[in-house]
A and B are shown apart, each in its own frame.
Chain A
């Protein structure tokens, strides 16, 4: 698979176009929906570029040796976005792509939230929110103790950071100066019930992370170049953990789902939904 070399402009308002790989990965998710007829659509699509860039371009990992102690770590703390992680891990060869069609099945290894020990490449079992940053801080601290240059990326949702434990972890990580730790926020501005502004306003979000001792960069979370640069530049400041706030669009790429709270989680897709999803991404399959 050739990764898109195209850099797109950051366009506030979420107009950043998807390249062929972005569409192909989303189509892999649609294939899963075809079997399981359920899943967190909005979170999966808002996350896709973040995870893709991490696994394609940033993380030092070997799918053939997923437990290599020297590897970088990535924790998907917002475990409900697991479909994006699963298609990326399958694409990278961590496990056979055939597993994808057994998502949430009785005999499948891929559940509705990712579990370490079951899924190669998954570093920590997540799903209950607010756990990943502390675990990632532990991994980052462990690397520091070993004088290893492993970096740890923890991808969190914006709704997730309502959890107090996230801020406990932020306080500790900032004070410890864990500059091999990167908090990545999928800031799609929506949570289950309503917008983040309406439910529990996070602003001024960047200032909050700065106040906790993080170096912060804000990027368009669908802009591949901006993501590569932000993740590649970490630590943004020596001696400080990094926070990359990714401005994303919930449901990115499928217009009926974009910023549509009804598509946060779907437990039953209609045939019409499936046809629409497939049509939205099919034109690029194999590109």
Chain B
């Protein structure tokens, strides 16, 4: 997913001279061809995220479109004030590409995990947040990022994630995708969690449960219209995200549902969030091991939906 994303930045930059790439201190050879072809628009700033965001803002104020790439947690947490003020307050057209959203860097521990990035980016006015499911969806996303009117946070998964998105379904930044329709329950998910969500829905279908899946690749602005449409009439809504349950997709969905009239309906849907509890993960291992530890997997989704349905 990361490789496809950066390749797309290169491809887009060839066609649009406003585009600038800015990395912190990325891996050796990253975007080598971009650097050779467009050296003036390829910046490697070093390990100085606060400065890098301000620099990107200054470039954007002049009409340039800047793609900034480094590890997600350093791109969101380390330079939060610069993101808030230099980018969001000015509505600057800077695209933050965060490597390793969620628990991709499981072996490296909590210093490198981006498990609250969606929550803190969500809190900033003007910031948009997108987490696609796989590399192919990334390819459909990227052309739409160029002229997005404000700052944008692009959360990357691990890479080599299984392809689960449907190329036949149009991808529109800012709009959710009804990946599967269902009458009994709705699973709302973002990023690479689409895969286990679809698998869980299929497993539940085999037991006679009709479960829909809403792929909310754009967490902000949230497609509340589609969410309410798909949540209407179901008995259970479950959110699934590789992120703390505080303030991310689950929080956003809960806010929308709580302010709707469901509580006054005869049978309001029951609601659960699956994600990382309010802890710093205490284990290393692999991303999948940590996902399982916190119940962000097919089996837990199935059990959670079953427990909510009568």
Contact = CB atoms under 8 A, between A and B. Distances in A.
Contacts of A116: 61, 90
A139 B56 CA distance: 9
Interface stretch (B39-47, B218-226, B253-261): B39-47
Contacts of B20: 145
B64 interface: yes
A138 B90 contact: no
B54 A137 contact: yes
Contact of B58 (A130, A138, A146): A138
A124 B90 contact: yes
A245 B238 CA distance: 59
A1 to B, nearest CB: 30
A131 interface: yes
Contacts of B246: none
B50 A138 contact: no
A109 interface: no
Interface stretch (A20-28, A36-44, A162-170): A162-170
Contact of A165 (B45, B51, B60): B51
Contact of A172 (B48, B60, B82): B48
Nearest to B82: A131
Contacts of B152: none
Interface string A116-144: 11000001110010111111111111110
B194 to A, nearest CB: 36
A172 B52 CA distance: 9
Contacts of B63: 69
B8 interface: no
Given A128-B81, A171-B46, A165 B54 contact: yes
Main secondary structure of the interface of A (DSSP, over half): helix
B282 interface: no
A142 to B, nearest CB: 4
B89 interface: yes
Contacts of A69: 62-63
Interface residues of B, number: 28
Contact of A145 (B41, B46, B56, B86): B41
B57 interface: yes
Contacts of B85: 125, 128, 131
Interface in A200-240: none
B61 A134 contact: no
Contact of B50 (A132, A140, A165): A165
A134 B90 contact: no
B26 interface: no
B114 interface: no
B50 A125 contact: no
Contact of A117 (B50, B58, B90): B90
Contacts of B81: 128, 131
Interface size band for A: 20 to 34
A119 B156 CA distance: 37
Contacts of A137: 51, 54-55, 58
B58 A139 contact: yes
A137 to B, nearest CB: 5
B53 interface: yes
B90 A125 contact: yes
A117 B57 CA distance: 14
A145 B64 CA distance: 11
Nearest to B85: A128
A134 B55 contact: yes
B78 to A, nearest CB: 11
A168 B90 contact: no
Contacts of B57: 124, 134-135, 138
A145 B60 CA distance: 13
Nearest to A144: B40
B59 interface: yes
A76 B286 CA distance: 47
Contacts of A115: 89
B54 A141 contact: no
B51 A134 contact: yes
A23 to B, nearest CB: 34
Contacts of A169: 51, 54-55
Interface string A159-203: 000001100110110000000000000000000000000000000
Nearest to B40: A145
Contacts of B41: 145
Q: List 4 tightest A-B contacts by C-beta distance, closest first.
A: A138-B58, A134-B54, A168-B51, A168-B48
13 contacts: A69-B62, A125-B90, A133-B54, A134-B51, A134-B57, A134-B86, A138-B62, A142-B59, A143-B62, A146-B62, A165-B48, A168-B48, A172-B45
